[in-house]
Structure 1
Amino acid sequence: MKRALHVITGLGVGGAERQLRSLLRRLPLACDVVTLTNAGPVAAELRADGVAVTDLGMRGNRDVGALPRLVRLIRGGDYDLVHTHLYRACVYGRLAARLAGVRTVVATEHSLGAHRIEGRPLTPATRALYLAAERLGAATVAVSGTVAGRLRDWGVPANRIHVVPNGIEPATFAFDEEARAAVRARLGLPEGAVVVGGVGRLVPEKRFDVLLRAVAELPEHVWLVLAGAGPERAGLRRLTARLGMTGRVALVGEWPDMPGLLSAFDLFVSPSTEETFGLAVLEALAAGLPVLHVSCPAVDELPRQEAPGARRVEATVPDLARALRAELALGVRRLPVPEVVRRYDIDRAVAQLMTVYEEVRR
Structure 2
Amino acid sequence: MKDYQADIVHSHHIGPLLYTSCAIQYNSNRIKHIHTEHDAWHLNNYKHRVIQYISLQLSTPIVVADADFVSRKIRNIFKTYPIYTIKNGINPSLFTIGDKYQARNKLQISLPKHATMIGNAARFETIKGQQHLIEALRLLPASFHLLFAGSGSTLVALQQLVRQYKLAHRVHFLGHVDDMPTFYQALDLFCLPSNNEGFPLSILEAQACGIPCIANDVGGVKETLSTDSILVPNNTAITLSTAIKSMPHQTISYDAREFILTHNHAQAMTKAYEQLYFSGGNI
Is TM more than 0.5 here?
yes
**Structure 2 equivalent of residue 350 of structure 1:** 270
Deviation at 1:323, TM superposition (A): 1.0
Residues 18-53 of structure 1: CA distance to partner in whole angstroms, max 9, x if unpaired? Answer: xxxxxxxxxxxxxxxxxxxxxxxxxxxxxxxxxxxx
Deviation at 1:322, TM superposition (A): 0.9
1:36-55 residue pairs with structure 2 within 5 A? none
1:276 and 1:182, CA in 2 relative to 1: closer, same or farther beyond 3 A?
A: closer
8 Å contact from structure 2 (residues 120, 148) kept in 1:
yes
**Structure 1 equivalent of residue 33 of structure 2:** 105
| 3-state SS of 1:79 partner | coil
Deviation at 1:169, TM superposition (A): 1.1
TM-score by length of 1: 0.69
**Structure 1 equivalent of residue 201 of structure 2:** 279
Distance 1:169 1:180 in 2: 23
Deviation at 1:182, TM superposition (A): 4.4
8 Å contact from structure 2 (residues 69, 220) kept in 1:
no
Corresponding residue to 2:155 among 213, 226, 233? 233
Code of the residue aligned with 1:321 in structure 2: it is S
**Structure 1 equivalent of residue 48 of structure 2:** 126
Corresponding residue to 1:254 among 152, 158, 176? 176
1:166 and 2:88 aligned: yes
| 3-state SS of 2:271 partner | helix
**Structure 2 equivalent of residue 78 of structure 1:** 5
TM-score by length of 2: 0.87
1:193-212 residue pairs with structure 2 within 5 A? 193-212=115-134
Structure 1, unaligned stretches of length 5 or more?
1-73
1:88 and 2:15 aligned: yes
8 Å contact from structure 2 (residues 136, 241) kept in 1:
yes
**Structure 2 equivalent of residue 308 of structure 1:** 227
Deviation at 1:156, TM superposition (A): 5.6
8 Å contact from structure 1 (residues 299, 340) kept in 2:
no
Deviation at 1:201, TM superposition (A): 2.0
Deviation at 1:208, TM superposition (A): 1.4
**Structure 2 equivalent of residue 333 of structure 1:** 251
Percent identical residues: 24
Code of the residue aligned with 1:92 in structure 2: it is Y
Deviation at 1:202, TM superposition (A): 2.0
Higher RCO (Cα < 8 Å, 6 or more apart)? 2
Residues 131-180 of structure 1: CA distance to partner in whole angstroms, max 9, x if unpaired? Answer: 32233332111001110111112226332x11111111112111222x75
| 3-state SS of 2:131 partner | helix
8 Å contact from structure 2 (residues 198, 221) kept in 1:
no
Distance 1:203 1:350 in 2: 31
Residues 256-315 of structure 1: CA distance to partner in whole angstroms, max 9, x if unpaired? Answer: 11111000111111112432223211211111112111237667348x8xx221111131
8 Å contact from structure 2 (residues 89, 264) kept in 1:
yes
Corresponding residue to 2:136 among 207, 214, 239? 214
| 3-state SS of 1:170 partner | coil
1:135 and 2:57 aligned: yes
Distance 2:104 2:52 in 1: 42
1:181 and 2:99 aligned: no
Distance 1:269 1:106 in 2: 33
1:245 and 1:150, CA in 2 relative to 1: closer, same or farther beyond 3 A?
A: same
Code of the residue aligned with 2:75 in structure 1: it is R
Structure 2, unaligned stretches of length 5 or more?
none
Distance 2:123 2:40 in 1: 15
Aligned residue pairs total 275
1:322 and 2:226 aligned: no
8 Å contact from structure 2 (residues 188, 249) kept in 1:
no
